[in-house]
Structure 1
Amino acid sequence: MRIEPQSLAFTLLLGLLAAVPYSGIDINLPALTATGVTLGASASDVGLTMSAFMLSLAIAPLIYGPVSDRLGRKPVLAFGLALFVAASVGCALAPSLPVLLLCRFVQGIGAAATATTFAIIRDLFDGDAARGKIANVMVAVNVATVIAPTAGAALLAAAGWQSIYAAQAGIGFMLLMVVMFRFAETATIAPSGRLVPSAVIDSYRRVLTHPVSLPFILVGATGGATVFAYVTGASLYFVGAVGLRPEQYGLIFSACSAAVMGGALLDGQLGRRGASSARMLATGLTLSAAASVALLAMTLAGWMPTALVVTLLMTVALGFGLSLPNVMSATMQRLPEIAGAVSAAAGSIQLTAGAIASGLVAVRFDGRTALSMTAVMAAAALLALVLYLLVARPAERRLESLTIEPGVAIRSPRNS
């Protein structure tokens, strides 16, 4: 029996799939030093395994997206999860750092297949229904982000760093079984659709020239860059400059993750009560921008009370949680026949923007203040708000004035 798209089980499946890449990063953080001891490498060298994983996460979706549009979401998910399981086993058995780096890169390629989660939502849901599903997926991802480091530390203490990769293999295998036997294909596959380079290039050309999808992709990328700047800069500032203990910073990180979840849940609740996507998106972006600018002003003034800084960071996270479901819904709405390519392009551009923001924060960190973090956050958050108000929203209104869209809340899976 397949899992019904309207069911809680289906929402849980989507959330678990979307959480695979994020948990693959966070669950390994506590084990960098222990892994280095075993493999005869420094913790900073083992940290390259994170870079290898994230590099493949950024690149692989660009292939998976068009493939899933033409062959279906299910075979792409099954292939990616199988690859993730095999690579996780390889990581657990790795005898040296170079082998671990290779396996982590392959593991990221496998995990990247779960980027089709948003395409699956677009296949099945429209409008507020899609927005609600995306919000639920965000909640699941943030729960995984909060739990993963603690789970990794527990596994490390109980059975060594290899058990962390063994656990990832086990989780990947369970998801693979559910996808293989309980998940029905959701994509509409055109008989004439061909998986050839020219078709793939044409899909991305359509995405990157679409008058509505592209502006919303850029809004999502700049909004995401705000969060990447926080993730990189907050640990540098609170631990390196303020002198907080790592466990104290962990509480701050968890509080901000909870704020993202709260924003996503609030968006879902208000959406069900009639709050428009445009209003919630504008509200979320404005909150993030205002809090980021306030942080920058405080940094320049040299007045940074920790409690207020944490409150403003949580406000940025709350705004991100309010805005992201609406950004993704608007991004995916206009090109349903190539939803895989849209999702892949959006994810890759957001990761690229995030990597740039993180790099700027790390390179410009002065060891004393939060200036590199707050400056990048303010610039990215303001750019996101300006792009939405002056480019994305006007383009959306122009297109809405030319077309009348059906108010369909849910579609039936096709080709199942």
Structure 2
Amino acid sequence: MSAPFATAGHPATPVAIPSALAILVLALLLSIQPVTTDLYLPALPALTRSLGSSVSVAQLTLSGLLLAFGCSQLVWGPLSDRFGRRPILLAGLSIYTVASIGSALAPNMSLLILWRVAQGAAMGSVVMCARAIVRDLYTPLEGARAMSKALTGLGIVACVCAPLGGLLAEWLGWRASLSALTVYAVATLTLVALRLPETLVHRNPRALQPRTLVATWLQVLRTPTFWAFSLQTTATYGGLFSFLASSSFVFIDVLGLSRTQYGGAMASVCVAYFAGTFLCRRLLARFGLKRSVAIAGGLSLAGGTLMALVAFLGWHHPVALLLPFALFMLAHGVHQPCGQSGAVGPFPQAAGVASALNGFMMMLAAFGIGAWLGLRLDGTVWPLVNGIWFWSLVLAVISWTLVQKFGDPVERA
């Protein structure tokens, strides 16, 4: 691991975190998002029926969670710049643990949605701090490499989550899938409490003052590099979320897969993402940040277009749809580490705020997608296919234009 670097006027004091531990902690923190979504997706149709709810209302257990996840980061970000990453992580993981227990015991859909919203708000602190920690410890290019390693760990976790969620739902019912989140939360909380030191060398005592907060937000939002990479990460997450929010209904209710088979299908998607994180490191070493994103944009467009072509030709079979989406997910493994590192790269003294705004944009898009899908799921594959195709087009345009023009992070005090 590279030592933390000095910023203008702020000589950094090295943070004593072994490289392996840093990557492990980052992987676990970032993985809380797929754990929270992928473990319960195979059980979503079953819990919808069990609680006597409609599909559109059940979608709020996902879209509501993600909206809370995005909005909460706007609060957690400045708090972490003021008080440090460690206390915010400990608070968020503790709240998440309580909300996980509440979700598993919820007697009706309304309470389940409320507990899932609380989970999302707590999850915001965890993922936001993980992205900010990358900026605390690494330069932007090194951060992209470190993020890709951590996201490789996320890929492993995600590969396990979907099949495990399917098996738990099949054998023990949907509440078991939600109960597994508590185990993950307690394990991660224990590791952070015992092993992770504070990574923010210079806290900002004025970070929560309204004038400072507004000035920091404006500084971030006026930076073209932030917009280029944030729109890139939003577009690639839009394609992924279109799949997450609709795939259980399409693959189980429309195409006839069992919950266990659906878990296997999700695992295959995670394998493609896992491979993409390795591809990311190869591309970065050979081509640098901007060209790597451009190449990934072409892969994204190819995957979305091939999926639309397969559906248009009438090949409505799980494998026929999964193969082109695997290409999209291969590119996703490049887009996410590059985009998340690039979005916070210009802001070494405001990484929490930049990370929060980036996360908010992604989750705002996810909420809109979830609401749209809740009204469009019609017993066909087309809502899933059209969503992914649309975002692949948007992603390619952003990767080939905005990122190429504004993708060289310039540090700002």
Q: TM-score range by the shorter chain?
A: 0.7 to 0.9
Query: Are the aligned partners of 1:335 and 1:342 in contact in 2 as well (CA < 8 Å)?
Result: yes
Alignment partner of 1:290 out of 302, 327, 330? 302
Query: Are the aligned partners of 2:246 and 2:384 in contact in 1 as well (CA < 8 Å)?
Result: yes
Q: Which residue of 2 aligns with 1:122?
A: 135
Q: Which residue of 2 aligns with 1:180?
A: 193
Is the deviation greater in 96-105 or in 28-37?
28-37
Query: Are the aligned partners of 2:134 and 2:341 in contact in 1 as well (CA < 8 Å)?
Result: no
Counterpart check, 1:267 vs 2:280: yes
SS at match of 2:407: helix
Query: Are the aligned partners of 2:63 and 2:371 in contact in 1 as well (CA < 8 Å)?
Result: no
Evaluate the alpha carbon distance shift between residue 251 and residue 96 of structure 1 in structure 2; reply closer, same or farther with a 3 A threshold. Answer: closer
Larger CA Rg, structure 1 vs 2: 1
CA–CA separation in structure 2 for the residues paired with 1:196 and 1:299: 53
**Cα shift at 1:160:** 6.4
Counterpart check, 1:223 vs 2:236: yes
Q: Which amino acid aligns with 2:388?
A: M
Alignment partner of 1:383 out of 394, 403, 406? 394
Give 1:3-42 correspondences, 5 Å limit: 4-31=16-43, 41-42=52-53
**Cα shift at 1:112:** 1.8
CA–CA separation in structure 1 for the residues paired with 2:43 and 2:262: 18
TM normalised by structure 2 equals 0.83
CA–CA separation in structure 2 for the residues paired with 1:216 and 1:140: 22
**Cα shift at 1:282:** 0.9
Q: Which residue of 2 aligns with 1:199?
A: 212
Q: Deviations over 1:335-380 (max 9, x none)?
A: 1211111111111111222333344455344534x44333332332
> Identity, % of aligned pairs?
24
CA–CA separation in structure 2 for the residues paired with 1:96 and 1:375: 32
Give 1:314-329 correspondences, 5 Å limit: 314-329=326-341
Evaluate the alpha carbon distance shift between residue 164 and residue 332 of structure 1 in structure 2; reply closer, same or farther with a 3 A threshold. Answer: same
Evaluate the alpha carbon distance shift between residue 99 and residue 336 of structure 1 in structure 2; reply closer, same or farther with a 3 A threshold. Answer: same
Unaligned runs of 5+ in 1: 406-416
Counterpart check, 1:252 vs 2:258: no
Q: Which residue of 1 aligns with 2:78?
A: 66
Counterpart check, 1:334 vs 2:346: yes
CA–CA separation in structure 2 for the residues paired with 1:216 and 1:363: 30
Query: Are the aligned partners of 2:67 and 2:366 in contact in 1 as well (CA < 8 Å)?
Result: no
Unaligned runs of 5+ in 2: 1-13
Q: Which residue of 2 aligns with 1:372?
A: 383
Query: Are the aligned partners of 2:67 and 2:363 in contact in 1 as well (CA < 8 Å)?
Result: no
CA–CA separation in structure 1 for the residues paired with 2:318 and 2:195: 48
Is the deviation greater in 223-232 or in 286-295?
223-232
Evaluate the alpha carbon distance shift between residue 298 and residue 108 of structure 1 in structure 2; reply closer, same or farther with a 3 A threshold. Answer: closer
Query: Are the aligned partners of 1:228 and 1:355 in contact in 2 as well (CA < 8 Å)?
Result: no
Alignment partner of 2:95 out of 83, 97, 105? 83
Is the deviation greater in 370-379 or in 259-268?
370-379
Query: Are the aligned partners of 2:169 and 2:259 in contact in 1 as well (CA < 8 Å)?
Result: no
Evaluate the alpha carbon distance shift between residue 387 and residue 85 of structure 1 in structure 2; reply closer, same or farther with a 3 A threshold. Answer: same
Give 1:92-241 correspondences, 5 Å limit: 92-94=104-106, 97-115=109-127, 116-152=129-165, 167-190=180-203, 192-241=205-254
Alignment partner of 1:299 out of 281, 295, 311? 311
Query: Are the aligned partners of 1:225 and 1:357 in contact in 2 as well (CA < 8 Å)?
Result: yes
Q: Deviations over 1:152-202 (max 9, x none)?
A: 455567776655555433432332233233211112434552412333232
CA–CA separation in structure 2 for the residues paired with 1:166 and 1:19: 17
Evaluate the alpha carbon distance shift between residue 235 and residue 85 of structure 1 in structure 2; reply closer, same or farther with a 3 A threshold. Answer: closer
Query: Are the aligned partners of 2:38 and 2:161 in contact in 1 as well (CA < 8 Å)?
Result: yes
**Cα shift at 1:260:** 0.7
CA–CA separation in structure 2 for the residues paired with 1:146 and 1:352: 26
Q: Which amino acid aligns with 2:78?
A: P
Evaluate the alpha carbon distance shift between residue 222 and residue 47 of structure 1 in structure 2; reply closer, same or farther with a 3 A threshold. Answer: closer
**Cα shift at 1:333:** 1.0
**Cα shift at 1:223:** 1.8
Q: Which amino acid aligns with 1:391?
A: L
CA–CA separation in structure 2 for the residues paired with 1:367 and 1:154: 24
Evaluate the alpha carbon distance shift between residue 248 and residue 95 of structure 1 in structure 2; reply closer, same or farther with a 3 A threshold. Answer: closer
SS at match of 1:274: helix
**Cα shift at 1:53:** 2.7
Q: Compute the RMSD of aligned alpha carbons.
A: 3.2
**Cα shift at 1:70:** 1.5
SS at match of 1:212: helix
CA–CA separation in structure 1 for the residues paired with 2:273 and 2:395: 17
Counterpart check, 1:396 vs 2:407: yes
Evaluate the alpha carbon distance shift between residue 180 and residue 307 of structure 1 in structure 2; reply closer, same or farther with a 3 A threshold. Answer: closer
**Cα shift at 1:389:** 2.1
Query: Are the aligned partners of 1:223 and 1:285 in contact in 2 as well (CA < 8 Å)?
Result: no
SS at match of 2:286: coil
CA–CA separation in structure 2 for the residues paired with 1:366 and 1:159: 29
CA–CA separation in structure 2 for the residues paired with 1:156 and 1:237: 17
Query: Are the aligned partners of 1:119 and 1:340 in contact in 2 as well (CA < 8 Å)?
Result: yes
